[in-house]
Structures are given as structure tokens and as C-alpha cells.
Structure 1
Amino acid sequence: MTQSLSKLITFDEFVAKYPDQTGKCYELHDGVVVEMPQPTGDHEEVVGFLAFEITRECIRLNLPYFIPKTALVKPPENESAYSPDVLLLNRANLVHEPLWKKESTVIQGSSIPLIVEVVSTNRRDDYLKKYADYEEMGIPEYWIVDYSGLGGREFIGNPKQPTILVCSLEDGEYRVSKFRGNNRIESVTFPHLNLTAQQIMNARY
């Protein structure tokens, strides 16, 4: 479970103080510092698999994209800063990012072709808060990878089951498509990606 540190701070204060010497990971949610839990092995295997497959597709298509290790995403309209599980950046647009050189932070949706959050105990952040902020930023594609079926029934159905939600921006709003089992993931960023929901789920085994 995520743990909030109560005092409100600004984004500038956040990047000046964190990461600290504890080795822990933090995000900023509307001025509140949130300590992120140590991810499970299953979580890391799914993240690693997705980062590898997305990178491989970028190389195959010779795209100017890369996945940074610790970059932050800051919605311009609030004092938040997120550290996504997989953040795909468009290198060509980074010259327009005012916070990139000094703080490895992006604020423009045009710098982010694709963002992925792998659901853990902070599922409400992925399904609600980050969903709204990523949509507001104009990030073209957002994947919510819920390999344990933790999301609410309004998102993944009843009965709950492992689901991947691909949110594609259309006219400023996300259109959500759900993928399970042998459904091939349909991606606007990578229309020829040959990857099924089950292959992503199986990364844990």
C-alpha cells in the first residue's frame, strides 16, 4: 500500500529532496509526497517484459524513441510528478521540454507516445488519478496492465479477471479497449505489434 507523507510541497521542492538516501521511490500527488511500495517480483517481470518488447518494436521500426530509467511525468496543471512503470519518450521532442535537461522531467504529451502502468496495490491511482492526468496532458496512448484483476468491476467487469486496458486518445478523450487471453493488443503507437494479453500475463512465470 502506498504511504502518504502529509506536508504539502511544490514540484520544485520535491525534485530537490527526492530521491533521498533511503533508496525508496516516491511520487508527488497534488503536493503530497507518496512513498511507493517495493514492487513484487511478478510486477517487475511484467514491466521488464513490456519494456523489452516495446524497445524491440522501436528498433525494428527505427523509431527515435527510448525508455528512460527514472524520468518523471509532470502534469502542467498541478503539483504532481509520476514515475511510470514504462515511459516511452520521443527523443526528437525533448528539445521543447523545459525541465528535461536538469530534472529529467517531461510535461508535454507530445513527448510521450506511450505510457504503461502495471497495477499493484495503488490501483486507484492508475485507474482514476493518472488516467485523468494523462488524458489531460494529451498522452496519445496509456496502457493499464492489471495482471491480478485488482481493478473495480466498472473497469474490468464482473467477475473480475486479468485485463489489459489500452486507452487511446480520440478528440481529447480516451477510448478504452479491453484485452484478455489470446486477444492481440491493438496499439495506435505500434499497429503491427504481435503481442497478446496472455503473453504479457505469462511474463510472471
Structure 2
Amino acid sequence: MVTPTVVKTIAIQTFEQFLRQCPEEGRFEWVHGEIIEMVNTREHIDVAAFLTKMLDREVDRLNLNYVVRQEVYIRTPLTTGKTQGRIPDISVIDRDQWRSNRGTLGALTEPIQLAVEVVSTNWETDYFDKLDEYQRLGIKEYWIVDYLAIGSRDILGEPKEPTVFIYTLNGEGVYDRQAFQGQQNLVSPTFSELVLTPEQIFNA
């Protein structure tokens, strides 16, 4: 796995400035005023691609009012009142929300239906930073796909095993968490008829 790389350390004050300064090739996030390149292994890419395909098939099969995308910027709030620019590995977005202003280069500012992060070496970002930001924004469902069991033992338990965590926003605006391993079928409020196990994902 490759740790995300700081591309630009100049002070970038607004999201619009980030979009102007961002390189054209690659995947980048705007974190604490810096442009961060998200560099992934082929295994990481394969896991994300498999999940994208499976969720997209489910949308088509049930004619759900969603789109599934991999290159979507989301503006997320911090406790300080400032914002950051995140790009989830997979975004599931209400189709009407997605089509409301398709000509813009800006990020989505309203909560999407589902965000998926495939864990890399900077696992703390997915388990803590993005968890807090996505919850604060109000994203209804958040998946953490830890296919290498790279998170801490406090999270994964002992022995550590590859796990898919599904967080769902409750009535108080706080995430409830479920953990899935092996041949357990994932339970997703967004995709209530989905038949998919962590083992299938991890062997993609």
C-alpha cells in the first residue's frame, strides 16, 4: 500500500481554489489546506471496481433512484466550521440530486446516500476523520472495507480479520455500526435486497 502524498503545501483557502490548483491526472483530496494525492494499489482498485459493479447492478435490477460513481468530490464540515474536499472510493447518490446541476465543477454539498472507503495504509483517516466528517454532513450510510485487516485491534478485535463495517445514521444523527466478516451477508438499508458477502468482496 502507498501512503497518500502531499502534492501542494501552499495555503489553499477555498474549495474553488482547490479545484483550480488540482492536477488534472489522478485522485486528490483537500485536507487542512493541502492537496493530497490518493495513490492506491491495484488490489485496492480491484476491490473498489468490484463493489462499484455490484452496487450498480443492484440499482439497475431494482430500478432504484440512485447513481453509483467513483470520481465525486464532497465538501465535508469540520468541528472548526471549515470544510474539506473528500472523494470517496464509491459514492451512491440520489439520481435527482446528481442531475440537479451536472454542468458544475464544484463538489456536492448536500449529504449523499452512501459513501464507501476501501482502507489503505492511512486507515485512521477512514476510521476516524472521514467517519466524523461524513456523520457531521449527514451521509446516511458509510461503508469501511478493510480487506487487509489493517485497522487497530481495538476496532477489529483479536485476531484481526478482514471486515466490512456498515455505519447507518440513526434518528439522533449518530452512526450505528455493524461488522461483517467471511460469508456473512451484508445488511444495507440502501440496498436491502443485496446478496453479497465480505468474502466475495475480498476475493475480487
Within 5 Å, give how 1:112-127 maps onto structure 2: 112-127=112-127
Counterpart CA distance in 2 for 1:68 and 1:78 is: 25
Q: Which residue of 2 aligns with 1:180?
A: 181
Counterpart CA distance in 2 for 1:151 and 1:43 is: 15
Q: Deviation of residue 104 (structure 1)? A: 4.8
Unmatched runs of 5 consecutive residues or more in structure 2:
none
Q: Deviation of residue 67 (structure 1)? A: 2.0
Q: Which residue of 2 aligns with 1:16?
A: 20
Aligned residue for 2:86, secondary structure, equals: coil
Counterpart CA distance in 2 for 1:168 and 1:69 is: 20
Contact 1:28 1:79 in 2 (8 A): no
Q: Deviation of residue 95 (structure 1)? A: 6.1
Contact 2:69 2:92 in 1 (8 A): yes
Q: Which amino acid aligns with 1:137?
A: L
Structure 1 runs (4+) greater than 6 angstroms displaced: none
Q: Which amino acid aligns with 1:122?
A: N
Q: Which residue of 1 aligns with 2:66?
A: 65
Q: Which amino acid aligns with 1:127?
A: Y
Q: Which amino acid aligns with 1:103?
A: L
Counterpart CA distance in 2 for 1:190 and 1:95 is: 21
Q: Which amino acid aligns with 1:189?
A: T
The structure-2 alpha-carbon separation of the partners of 1:86 and 1:95, relative to structure 1 and needing over 3 Å to count, comes to: closer
The structure with the largest helix share of the pair is: 1
Q: Deviation of residue 15 (structure 1)? A: 0.7
TM-score computed with the length of structure 2 as normaliser: 0.89
Q: Which residue of 1 aligns with 2:133?
A: 133
Q: Which residue of 1 aligns with 2:82?
A: 78
Contact 1:8 1:33 in 2 (8 A): no
Counterpart CA distance in 1 for 2:99 and 2:33 is: 27
